[in-house]
């Protein structure tokens, strides 16, 4: 309780100086006579966005190997990133409420950084930023600085319209004068996670991993129908002899999806929903041939380990949040969904605007996904099975086909 009170007091002290000079944040390319000694990175969540942040960390490490990096991150996200070499992690456990902020404050007490990279535009992250002592505080450009993030910073990245989320985060490296180059992740995998993945994916035949459900948020319609996932699984099994694994979290919705896919599928399916840690999931994705999923964290985890992603996008824009290295493999019905919902083209609406239509994902047909799966398996050198059954023709667009 005492640490929570101290955290509140720290916020109150800082609130008096938010508007001056932070409110005058300007886009700038910083110049250093020598590399900064200490940089604090603030990106709490979510899984996909923290994956997008890792290439920024790697770019800084490559340019300034002697600079000490501290990353304030969410408790769940740390489970995935733990062990990232050269990075000190401070975790915010939001389940602890104010006490969680007190934990962070205690770890940051009497510490000062040369630069804070405030890479998370949210009120929770803004409050955490007040616990970080730094002269230079770099945030998002004004258009992307949601929840008043611009008030908590005195520098900002340049405004570049219509960027992918990861490209926007890479601007933080460029502000430091660092050209990020090709993205690199190298998220460490412990031996037990690798062994878990080997038990389920032996490499003897192609493997399709399906992560069918995205995060549950209000009016967040990003999930495809279970019977269509089952049809896609059957197609991969019949055409490529693929082993099919289901992965996901422990929510009731994910469990229900897993059971429904299993009921509808004709092929054998290994259901690992609710049975993996994040490290184990990353290890599975690393060994998988292809991942099939909607707009969700596993898409970006698979990207981080070099596995192609067949993404399902109708309510969100793949060019903003799609799998960074698999844009060509996305089954993309967002343009049609936008036209149906707003009567406009993508270029006529706000960048990143979501389609709040529960029927939008039905615009993605199974045949669309089968074509993308063909391209993905081909990229991985997986040829159609020589003894392909006659029933393995590409399925149609109808529900359950």
Span 243-278, pLDDT tens digits: 999 999 999 999 999 999 999 999 999 999 999 999
Query: What b/e string do you get for 340-371 counting C-beta neighbours within 10 Å, with b at 16 or more?
Result: ebeeeebeeeeeebbbebeebbbbbbbbbbbe
The domain boundary residue, chosen from 109, 141, 175: 175
Same domain, 61 and 133: yes
The SS3 call for residue 11 is: helix
Helix, strand, coil share (%) of the chain residues, nearest 5: 45, 15, 45
pTM for this entry:
0.91
pLDDT at 27: 62
Same domain, 229 and 350: yes
Contacts of 135 (CB under 8 A, 6+ apart): 114
Same domain, 142 and 242: no
CB atoms within 10 A of CB 31: 7
For residue 390, tell me if it sits in a domain.
no
pLDDT at 6: 53
Same domain, 101 and 233: no
Over residues 370-396, the pLDDT tens digits come to: 999 999 999 999 999 864 445 444 443
Instruction: Identify the domain containing residue 309 by its residue range.
Output: 194-379
Contacts of 77 (CB under 8 A, 6+ apart): 44, 45, 46, 47, 50
CA 327 to chain centre: 15
For residue 398, tell me if it sits in a domain.
no
Same domain, 44 and 129: yes
Same domain, 217 and 310: yes
Contacts of 20 (CB under 8 A, 6+ apart): none
pLDDT at 394: 42
Same domain, 214 and 314: yes
Round to whole Å and give the CA distance between 329 and 396.
Answer: 18
Contact by Cβ (8 Å): 164, 324: yes
Same domain, 298 and 245: yes
Q: What is the CATH number of the domain that holds 292?
A: 3.40.50.2000
CB atoms within 10 A of CB 399: 12
For residue 187, tell me if it sits in a domain.
no
pLDDT at 18: 43
- Per-residue tokens: 217: 């948020």
**Packing angle of the helix pair 297-304, 47-63 (nearest 10 deg):** 30
Q: Count how many domains the chain has.
A: 2
Over residues 15-35, the pLDDT tens digits come to: 444 444 444 566 667 889 999
Same domain, 107 and 244: no
Residue 387's Cβ-count burial label (10 Å; 0-12, 13-18, 19+) is exposed
Same domain, 210 and 148: no
Same domain, 212 and 171: no
Mean pLDDT by 10 residues, the chain (401 residues): 48 44 60 95 98 98 98 98 98 96 97 98 97 97 95 96 97 97 98 98 96 86 97 98 97 97 98 98 98 98 98 98 98 98 97 96 98 98 72 40 33
Same domain, 96 and 144: yes
The domain boundary residue, chosen from 175, 205, 221: 175
């Amino acid at each position: 309780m005492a640490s929570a009170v101290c955290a509140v007091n720290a916020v109150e002290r800082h609130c008096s100086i938010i508007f001056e000079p932070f409110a005058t944040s300007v886009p700038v390319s910083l110049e250093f006579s020598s590399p900064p000694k200490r940089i604090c990175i603030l990106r709490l969540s979510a899984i996909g966005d923290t994956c997008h942040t890792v290439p920024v960390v790697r770019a800084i490490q490559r340019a300034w190997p002697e600079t000490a990096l501290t990353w304030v991150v969410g408790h769940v996200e740390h489970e995935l990133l733990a062990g990232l070499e050269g990075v000190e992690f401070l975790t915010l456990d939001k389940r602890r409420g104010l006490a969680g902020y007190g934990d962070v404050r205690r770890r940051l007490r009497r510490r000062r950084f040369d630069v804070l990279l405030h890479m998370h535009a949210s009120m929770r992250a803004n409050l955490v930023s007040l616990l970080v002592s730094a002269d230079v505080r770099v945030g998002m450009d004004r258009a992307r600085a949601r929840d008043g993030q611009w008030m908590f910073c005195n520098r900002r990245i340049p405004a570049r319209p219509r960027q992918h989320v990861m490209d926007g985060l890479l601007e933080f490296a460029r502000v430091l004068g660092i050209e990020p180059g090709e993205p690199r992740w190298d998220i460490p995998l412990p031996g037990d996670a690798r062994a878990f993945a080997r038990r389920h994916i032996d490499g003897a035949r192609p493997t399709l991993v399906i992560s069918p459900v995205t995060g549950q948020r209000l009016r967040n319609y990003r999930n495809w129908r279970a019977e269509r996932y089952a049809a896609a699984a059957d197609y991969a099994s019949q055409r490529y002899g693929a082993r099919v694994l289901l992965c996901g979290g422990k929510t009731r919705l994910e469990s229900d999806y897993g059971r429904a896919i299993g009921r509808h599928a004709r092929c054998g399916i290994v259901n690992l929903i609710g049975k993996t840690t994040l490290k184990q999931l990353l290890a599975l994705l690393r060994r998988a041939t292809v991942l099939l999923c909607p707009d969700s964290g596993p898409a970006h985890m698979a990207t981080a380990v070099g596995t192609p992603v067949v993404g399902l996008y109708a309510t969100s824009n793949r060019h903003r949040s799609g799998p960074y290295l698999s844009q060509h493999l996305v089954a993309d019905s967002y343009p049609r969904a936008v036209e149906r919902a707003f009567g406009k083209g993508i270029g006529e609406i706000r960048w990143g605007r979501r389609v709040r239509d529960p029927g939008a994902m039905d615009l993605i047909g199974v045949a669309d996904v089968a074509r993308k799966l063909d391209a993905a398996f081909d990229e991985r050198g997986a040829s159609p099975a020589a003894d392909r059954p006659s029933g393995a023709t590409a399925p149609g667009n109808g529900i359950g086909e």
